[in-house]
Chains A and B, each alone.
Chain A
Amino acid sequence: DAGVTQSPTHLIKTRGQQVTLRCSPKSGHDTVSWYQQALGQGPQFIFQYYEEEERQRGNFPDRFSGHQFPNYSSELNVNALLLGDSALYLCASSSDLQETQYFGPGTRLLVL
């Protein structure tokens, strides 16, 4: 049973560029949440997708957007990258029947 997978594992971008991160949820899960974890901090909630709609959003600017596909996989897009966007981006999946969120290995983004 495959767990949550994310790609790529590492990414280096320059300021002003755009990035797309990808996530495939655990089998049987239909809800995907994205988190940003800066060094030395706990993960911060970005948004959650369910039934291809953004269900809830944290305190992040509109530069952060996402999408969920019919197969429940999801993308996180960040436009106009800033140095402060450098972080570990974590995807977590869950289902409405079992609420516990399970995390993927993350994508480490470095913005230069």
Chain B
Amino acid sequence: EDKVVQSPLSLVVHEGDTVTLNCSYEVTNFRSLLWYKQEKKAPTFLFMLTSSGIEKKSGRLSSILDKKELSSILNITATQTGDSAIYLCAVDDYKLSFGAGTTVTVRA
């Protein structure tokens, strides 16, 4: 059975801190790994990673995939209160298998 594990489950930081979220996976037919941000309802797409070692960046967010270690990290630098959300990791093996998410709380 496909398995996606995220850590930590939750964390609290102060504005300006850097956050690193982890995702590890075991799936049968890996196609890509995706990161989503969920604030209230709809998860919003952040990154899709298919190749190992290539960093994807968007502003203060970045992510990298390690296919050898079957893992990925999502970094958020200079955190702001608007970064408070649940961050979901999903692996696409012709369907999306999600982890339980990491709840990030950024305090002013």
Contact = CB atoms under 8 A, between A and B. Distances in A.
B72 to A, nearest CB: 15
B42 A90 contact: yes
Interface residues of B: mostly helix, strand, loop or mixed? Answer: strand
A48 B98 contact: no
A71 interface: no
Nearest to B44: A103
A33 interface: yes
Interface residues of A, number: 24
B53 interface: no
A35 interface: yes
Contacts of A106: 41-42
B94 A90 contact: no
Most buried by B among A43, A56, A90: A43
